[in-house]
Structure 1
């Protein structure tokens, strides 16, 4: 179909061809929405009516409404097979079906323009999602106002028009939405990038943001006083890890106050933890020579960057569409998995990065820099390895001094007195690496919930805190108990063996609260050892309910790490640590 040699086309023809193929892609996306509508029509609520004598409870299938008021109900478990065959998670599948139904039933003018090719499908889907909480009447009003503008103005301008239309037709809803913004305040941790850097999003009151910024600034200045010559923003990032330990932070500010004149760190100082040549007797604790689980309070010290965003600051504009495959943030109506309440906030995945609109010198969110003004961050001076070791050693000593002073006030064997600060909570980190990396201290390792890191970055995870190296866990050894509930020992092994749920295209990471499903159903009168690492599979709550209650779904273990799922209509998928793989069976193309 696409055998033409593009290099033979003139520039004008190349551009015309590009636009033509974009139109083809839009028509294909519209066709996907039509498929979703027909599929939803075939799974009406009668399909999930409980069998005689059985109640619709205990995780059994329900009728759900996707897309907003005015859309028809659909049998909940039908979403699972639709999503699996499309190669997306059940949440994305629900989003596609909801978008399709909302366009047909709530936004007929916009849907007509999508079918005619005059509106880009992903932009239309974004519109219906923005209006999902509107009544059917209000949605029709917005549809009439903006349908003709979908492809004629930028998404940012369209958002403003949609917002104005919503406020006009539903002022009470607009006030409720404004109040809901206050409830969106919180602190959200983003995913790690390929260099071990994470983003922290903070939505809080303006006053709290200002006070936090002042403390970060003071800690940055304190590090500079002790000889840290790196740029301001690097020191501010380091301060995020320091502020996690209030006792350490206060001691750092106190000691820096008595040394107001910055001075370069001596190059002959004792190396800090984390350097391969470190003399560990001078530091609080050495860098581990084994990288099994370690315990340390503030993970990612110096590897995080904070974006402080007040509730009044608008999000930066940016487009996204369901065709991109991004995971949604808030749960879709009717898909409220209890086990998913700790899923990443939308700020941690697909929203624009506030740092793209941040004054890099002050850390404040701002409009793009005016032309001709100097808003570049200070360059600072690079620190060589010896200077960095000396600085880290000094900070480790300050932390030691802080807790030594605390111990002198309150010995460890005395009960905790009210008002006496305690050490911050411990953090458990799982690190995977080869024997070569362990022996040489060089290479690549993987830290769970962070991703791949250079071995030299391991010291950033430890920070300036003591750590405990736990024994290596042999995952080849099966562990079982003679009861239904899995113990923490079993949960830990299942987590290490299967870091992500074992449902087709599942996205839920295995953690302490995820459901562990017995592949062979537990029999109270059966043999001992049924709750075993070889008979448990981590599943999100929705996937667990589908496996337990949906008709026509079958699952079996085909080897220690792979499950085979068969859907009601005969589609087969293998799920293992490498992901989800569809298996083409006889009779399928």
Structure 2
């Protein structure tokens, strides 16, 4: 490792030195775990005098098992001294000792990769914490499934893979845990702040939240059609007050839907706003800031941050953020002037009055048989033929991750639904145009559930950018817009590929993209994660 003046290094050598120091940090962390294991061995009850018992008596020391089923007992008070030497609390020290023991006794494959420098120690510790309730046998199953990919994907994706492996290893435990979590659901309202705003936090079934969000979005869109020029998030907040009145909500949505046909001379406030700029317009703006409202939608989730986790930081943070990240994209807006505000309030008051005096959502003389239908949502579910035939097993619902088959009913709900035909993703289709039709966009999204940038973590969604890997040539051959020449990218990573100097990407095969950084470092993105390609002359790492 280079220990001199870093300012004298070239940029490639500086980056290589940073990688070497990071590897050295991991080696030190692995050695610290070994210290913890030997320390725990020396504080096994059989080695202590007097020997701790299995039950506490008058506050005396007892034997405890840290790390889960299969780990040896340890004297209860031992972590306190270990923690003092490391400058951490006894509780954090006990957790750390438990993680160290679990790696050796419950996750031997992962521990072997940590010792070999092929897995980051804090990720391995996180794995043991996530699986602490599993039996020793179930933990070994998860260990075999997860150990090979522990360091090739981001924590956000790793969490979902661990979750699926836990479901496979212990389905009964997964059902019990799901029932326990269901009992924690609720809607919680905080006290008003000094500005008169309240915060509401809801934990409910995924299907219920999705349908609620769809209704909120519909009301926000209706307010915009009726002349509300404020930004999207502000209109969504106002929608909470509207949705509390079902009759008002129905009348508002119906009038907004019929407004263009019923208003021959609409005022400027009632006209449909200009369309948002396309992805191409945003990507070619030379003065676009590095992070803007649109890009923030694809900003890294707290769970995507791939940093060393210090001992005194709870390891549950990457998996259970204190507050969920809002995934609501915003849009430019402007405050309403007093006249526009009064006009809008008058309009809304008239709609609310009509909703309760002459409801139009029921059959009547003016609209016989008209009823407002709820908005539609789409859910993509990936499952095996065995799960489809038996109704039992693990499936993957896009944007939600692994689910038990029994949870699908709750997700879909009891309303009417349509099951669409299965899409054959092996079929390559193309068009002779730059624009990407929905049928191709849908296939690309289904084939690649995560963006194809190195260590990309953003799951593909309906509005994610789809990029031509080989740039589209208007004078080139037909069929350039095809499922094999397209890749999903987040807005920020798309801009990096398009505008940052020195980035190159090409497809090695149908499932692999190879990226080269400005200073010549190469990475391959495959369905199993991101893998660095060693420079010429260096022996590649074993698979």
Q: TM-score, normalised by structure 2?
A: 0.43
Q: TM-score, normalised by structure 1?
A: 0.40
